[in-house]
Amino acid sequence: MTPTDPAARAAELRATLNEANHRYHVLDRPTISDREYDLAFRELNELEAAHPELVTDDSPTQRVGAPTEGGFPSVRHEVPMLSLGNAFGADELREFDTRVRRGLGRGLDDPPVTYVCELKIDGLAISLRYEGRRFVRVATRGDGTTGEDVTANLRTVRAIPLSLHEDPPGDRLEVRGEVYMPRGAFASLNEQLEKEGRPLYANARNTTAGTVRQKDPKVTASRRLSVWTYQLVGAHGLSTHSESLALLESLGFPVNPHVRRVEGIEAVIDFTTEWADARKDLDYETDGIVIKVDALEEQQQLGFVSRAPRWATAYKFPAEQVTTKLEAIEVYVGRTGAMTPVAHVTPVSVGGTTVRNATLHNIDEIRRKDLRVGDTVVLQRAGDVIPEVVSAVLDARDGSETIWEMPAACPVCGTQALREEPEVVTRCPNPYCPAQRIGGLLHFSGRGGLDIDGLGFKIMMQLVERELVKEPADIFRLDAEALEGLDRLARKSADNLAQAINNARHRPLSHILNGLGIRHVGEQTAIDLAAWLATELSTTEGETDADWTRRVADRLRDASVEELTGVYGIGLVVAEGIVRFFGDAHTRDTLHRLIEAGVSAEAPAPGARNRAEGPLSGKTLVVTGTLPGLSRSEAEDAIRAAGGHAASSVSAKTDYLVAGDKAGSKLSRAEQLGVLVLDEDAFRKLIEEKT
Ligand code: IVH
């Protein structure tokens, strides 16, 4: 053991090991043998054990930490993590280009736009934070505004540099990318499970999601996840996206090598054609090509629409098709009572997933496609969507196939099923049907709702059957003892579940609203509704979350259809659904009992308000008339993305009126009240100036 100074030796070993990690996991060009690595690792471990004061955060020995207790803390993204618009086929890519050129004011004779083409990695979006050179945190995308802190788990991913190779620009750096499980790692994981006689995972992406949220970082460490980074947040004095990728690379981040900077959309289309097949040889799943305008100034100029940038799009590879056998059709009853026929097929691999079931939507669809039990069928899976049965292979019929009929009664409770033409859906009308109840409760406790880890179908079914749980509030009355009495639940798991339930008492308002299962209210509408409530009901000094939650419940009970249709993102049908839901005495009791059981909504901090932070934080704007380059909803999206509130009527509380052509009564009202009036240009400046 050469240098005598332990501190110097430890630093040397750390540098050697971090460098070896980078060469192996990022550059794919290892320079030292596994044995040399192991020896150096062991020496560092021993040194640190003898001199605990020498342990640093970025030491490779610190990648695996202790198991997390009680879930993952929420992280608000300072800059929201957006999604991308889609383009299917070459024509839609050309349309994208046309929109970009129009947005940049470029005519047909002007030079083509410079784009960067990247592979779209089919994993999980993450956001990495560095302070100085030091890695400090990683969060999942979550709903785009709020994600989860999964640092302890992702610290085990060796492709993530714990310390950067150079000083980054600025003292804080945020980098986004995708964590994924290489095909090889996925296959060997499933082989291992098979040997142990345990159920297999269906695809790498979901396995990645599960792995990222493991309680014990040791498990994550054993799964061999990897990362590609593809976005630097903020310009940092650079002028193009390609420069930012080069910078990421020199800082030590893994940047996918298959990136191409091209002139014009035809070259983009060439890139997509080249990769349609070539992607199958990669050691990771891709589901498309991401196309980004290279010049950051042009990105700024194009801005965004809704939750997606106008300067980028995701080209989706054509859906993969395979044939298999339709073995049986079974009916599933969902939380709204809808009876959905589901196809059980001979397991087959398509688009990286082993498919056993596929939705058939409804009986009309089965008739239209003339699908029969026993048929050989064409199955397709495009990207993330549920696999679909496309057609039957008529030539393969031998006469043994049978025509399927929708059962006349609910398969769960036996109640006569109803189908009201022209509705295509057959429903179980019994609101007390256990299937509906279980479906509703699972929706409430599931990922988009209160997110109670470990409360799956099998456990919920027992809880409902044993009448331990009849409604959401009952979940919060369960303790470890009650849970231990259930089948398949060992002591330790019962404790964990009790803990998970306890942790779920406090959740973002949008999650609670989504979990309630209000007709027509999905995750996005729940976010919009929560944002509105946060603006309507600012929290007061000393107010508890339970008190605030009570005020929220009252406010929803009193909300009118007119008022709700004025909320961004909510139309008439949705508003009526909300009013009906909260007007119902049963709902009021449910909410009351939830609050009594200790459930409360996270009151967004004043000013934060469950929405993006930005130049318009705390400002209320109204859009009226026809703007030359933006539709009303685009302008409202822009307001929200900049942190502002887009209101529907002008009042003394309005900060700005954005007025276009034919602005009528709102304009005169604004003038009366002395509200500042902006045209589109002034509005754009207001948003862009400070971002
Ligand atoms: S750029 C605003 N680049 O695709 C820019 N995304 O549908 C947003 N993704 O949430 C992301 N590979 O999870 C970008 N090379 C790539 C990507 C990529 C995969 C994912 C990412 C994002 C989703 C957008």
CB-hemisphere CA count at 13 Å for 286? 23
- Are residues 386 and 515 both part of a single domain? no
CATH code, 641: 3.40.50.10190
- Are residues 274 and 126 both part of a single domain? yes
Rounded to the nearest angstrom, the distance between the alpha carbon of 103 and the centre of ligand 1 is 22
Could you count the other beta carbons within 10 Å of the beta carbon of residue 91?
10
Is 422 within the bounds of a domain?
A: no
- Are residues 489 and 518 both part of a single domain? no
Torsion from C-alpha of 547, 552, 553, 556, nearest 10 degrees: 160
Q: What is the pLDDT of residue 382?
A: 64
Assess whether the C-beta atom of 499 lies below 6 angstroms from ligand 1: no
Using the 3D structure, point to which of 47, 62, 77 is the last residue of a domain.
62
Output DSSP code: residue 32.
Answer: S
Cα 297 to the center of its chain, rounded Å: 28
For residue 20, give its domain range: 6-62
- Separation between Cα atoms, residue 382 and residue 571, nearest integer Å: 30
H or E element: which one contains 20? Answer: helix 6-21
Using the 3D structure, point to which of 386, 403, 420 is the last residue of a domain.
403
Q: Judge whether residue 495 has pLDDT over 70.
A: yes
519, 334 in Cβ contact below 8 A? no
Peptide linkage before 80 cis (omega within 30 of 0):
no
Assess whether the C-beta atom of 287 lies below 6 angstroms from ligand 1: no
Query: How far is CA 152 from each of CA 252, 344, 494, rounded to the nearest angstrom?
Result: 20, 39, 24
Rounded to the nearest angstrom, the distance between the alpha carbon of 383 and the centre of ligand 1 is 13
Tell me whether residue 218 is one of the annotated catalytic residues: no
Identify the three-state secondary structure at position 441.
helix
Q: What is the pLDDT of residue 606?
A: 45
Strand partners, 139: 127, 149
82, 299 in Cβ contact below 8 A? no
- 102-115: per-residue pLDDT in tens? 999 998 889 999 99
CATH code, 448: 1.10.150.20
- Separation between Cα atoms, residue 139 and residue 128, nearest integer Å: 7
Cα 268 to the center of its chain, rounded Å: 27
Q: Tell me which residue has its CA closest to atom 12 in ligand 1.
A: 120
Identify the three-state secondary structure at position 368.
helix
Structure tokens at 357: 């079931």
Rounded to the nearest angstrom, the distance between the alpha carbon of 233 and the centre of ligand 1 is 13
Instruction: Tell me the average pLDDT of the chain.
Output: 89
Using the 3D structure, point to which of 602, 634, 662 is the last residue of a domain.
602
- Are residues 541 and 564 both part of a single domain? yes
Q: What is the pLDDT of residue 162?
A: 95
Q: What is the pLDDT of residue 262?
A: 98
- Are residues 50 and 105 both part of a single domain? no
- Are residues 297 and 393 both part of a single domain? no
Q: Of 277, 365, 250, 378, which Cα lies nearest the Cα of 321?
A: 378
Q: Judge whether residue 369 has pLDDT over 60.
A: yes
Could you count the other beta carbons within 10 Å of the beta carbon of residue 173?
25
286, 275 in Cβ contact below 8 A? yes
Is 67 within the bounds of a domain?
A: no
- Are residues 140 and 236 both part of a single domain? yes
Is 239 within the bounds of a domain?
A: yes
Assess whether the C-beta atom of 125 lies below 6 angstroms from ligand 1: yes
Query: How far is CA 565 from each of CA 532, 560, 627, 630, 643, rounded to the nearest angstrom?
Result: 12, 9, 21, 21, 20
Give me the DSSP letters along 267-306: HHHHHHHHHHHHGGGSSS-EEEEEEEESBHHHHHHH-EET
- Separation between Cα atoms, residue 613 and residue 606, nearest integer Å: 11
Give me the DSSP letters along 599-612: -EEEPPPTTTTTS-
Q: What is the pLDDT of residue 607?
A: 39
Q: What is the pLDDT of residue 462?
A: 92
> Roughly how many angstroms between the first and final C-alpha of the chain, as a whole number?
53
Rounded to the nearest angstrom, the distance between the alpha carbon of 120 and the centre of ligand 1 is 6
- Separation between Cα atoms, residue 112 and residue 46, nearest integer Å: 59
Query: How far is CA 331 from each of CA 105, 340, 361, 377, rounded to the nearest angstrom?
Result: 54, 5, 10, 19
Assess whether the C-beta atom of 303 lies below 6 angstroms from ligand 1: no
Q: Tell me which residue has its CA closest to atom 13 in ligand 1.
A: 125
Q: Judge whether residue 644 has pLDDT over 50.
A: yes
Among the ranges 323-337, 513-527, 625-639, which has the highest mean pLDDT value?
323-337
Reduced DSSP (H G I as helix, E B as strand, rest coil) percent helix, strand, coil of the chain, to 5: 40, 20, 40
Structure tokens at 324: 């298999």
Is 71 within the bounds of a domain?
A: no
Is 473 within the bounds of a domain?
A: yes
- Are residues 488 and 516 both part of a single domain? no
Atom of ligand 1 at shortest distance to CA of 82? 2
Atom of ligand 1 at shortest distance to CA of 122? 19
Mutate to test the pocket of ligand 1, among 118, 120, 128 (most ligand atoms within 8 A of CB): 120
Is 106 within the bounds of a domain?
A: yes
Q: What is the pLDDT of residue 135?
A: 96
- Separation between Cα atoms, residue 12 and residue 655, nearest integer Å: 58
Rounded to the nearest angstrom, the distance between the alpha carbon of 118 and the centre of ligand 1 is 9
More confident position, 137 or 672: 137
Q: What is the pLDDT of residue 2?
A: 54
Is 414 within the bounds of a domain?
A: no
Assess whether the C-beta atom of 418 lies below 6 angstroms from ligand 1: no
Residue type, 546: A
Q: Judge whether residue 156 has pLDDT over 80.
A: yes
388, 358 in Cβ contact below 8 A? yes
382, 288 in Cβ contact below 8 A? no
- Separation between Cα atoms, residue 295 and residue 239, nearest integer Å: 6
Lowest-confidence region among 28-42, 212-226, 358-372, 378-392: 378-392
Atom of ligand 1 at shortest distance to CA of 314? 7
Assess whether the C-beta atom of 178 lies below 6 angstroms from ligand 1: yes
The residues near 156 (Cβ < 8 Å, ≥ 6 apart) are: 63, 64, 217, 220, 221, 225
- 376-406: per-residue pLDDT in tens? 999 987 655 678 899 999 999 999 999 999 9
Assess whether the C-beta atom of 578 lies below 6 angstroms from ligand 1: no
- Are residues 298 and 173 both part of a single domain? yes
Total number of domains in the chain: 6
Rounded to the nearest angstrom, the distance between the alpha carbon of 92 and the centre of ligand 1 is 18
More confident position, 602 or 212: 212
Strand-strand pairing, 656-659 and 676-678: parallel
Query: How far is CA 18 from each of CA 41, 78, 353, 378, 470, rounded to the nearest angstrom?
Result: 10, 29, 34, 49, 54
- 401-453: per-residue pLDDT in tens? 999 999 999 999 999 999 887 778 899 999 889 899 999 999 999 988 999 98
The residues near 315 (Cβ < 8 Å, ≥ 6 apart) are: 86, 87, 88, 92, 93, 120, 268, 272, 288, 289, 290, 291
- 209-252: per-residue pLDDT in tens? 989 988 899 999 999 999 999 999 999 999 999 999 999 999 99
Q: What is the pLDDT of residue 691?
A: 41
Q: What is the pLDDT of residue 384?
A: 54
Q: What residue spans of 173-260 are helical by DSSP H?
A: 183-195, 204-212, 217-222, 241-251
Identify the three-state secondary structure at position 488.
coil
- Separation between Cα atoms, residue 103 and residue 97, nearest integer Å: 10
Rounded to the nearest angstrom, the distance between the alpha carbon of 628 and the centre of ligand 1 is 30
Task: Place 502 in a pLDDT band, splitting at 50, 70 and 90.
Answer: very high
Output 40-48 pairs: Cβ under 8 A, ≥24 positions apart.
40/13, 40/16, 41/17, 43/1, 43/13, 44/10, 44/13, 44/14, 44/17, 47/6, 47/9, 47/10, 47/13, 48/10
Cα 329 to the center of its chain, rounded Å: 31
More confident position, 192 or 569: 192
Task: Place 689 in a pLDDT band, splitting at 50, 70 and 90.
Answer: low
Mutate to test the pocket of ligand 1, among 77, 121, 227 (most ligand atoms within 8 A of CB): 121
432, 497 in Cβ contact below 8 A? no
List the strands of the sheet with 85-88, edge to edge: 85-88, 312-316, 286-293, 114-121, 260-263
Q: What is the pLDDT of residue 297?
A: 96
- Are residues 164 and 263 both part of a single domain? yes
- 604-615: per-residue pLDDT in tens? 544 333 445 678
- Are residues 375 and 476 both part of a single domain? no
- Are residues 481 and 534 both part of a single domain? no
Q: Of 527, 528, 551, which Cα lies nearest the Cα of 540?
A: 551
CATH code, 56: 1.10.287.610
Assess whether the C-beta atom of 314 lies below 6 angstroms from ligand 1: yes
Is 154 within the bounds of a domain?
A: yes
Give me the DSSP letters along 94-161: HHHHHHHHHHTT--TTSPPPEEEEEEEE-SEEEEEEEETTEEEEEEE-TTSSEEEB-HHHHTT-TTS-
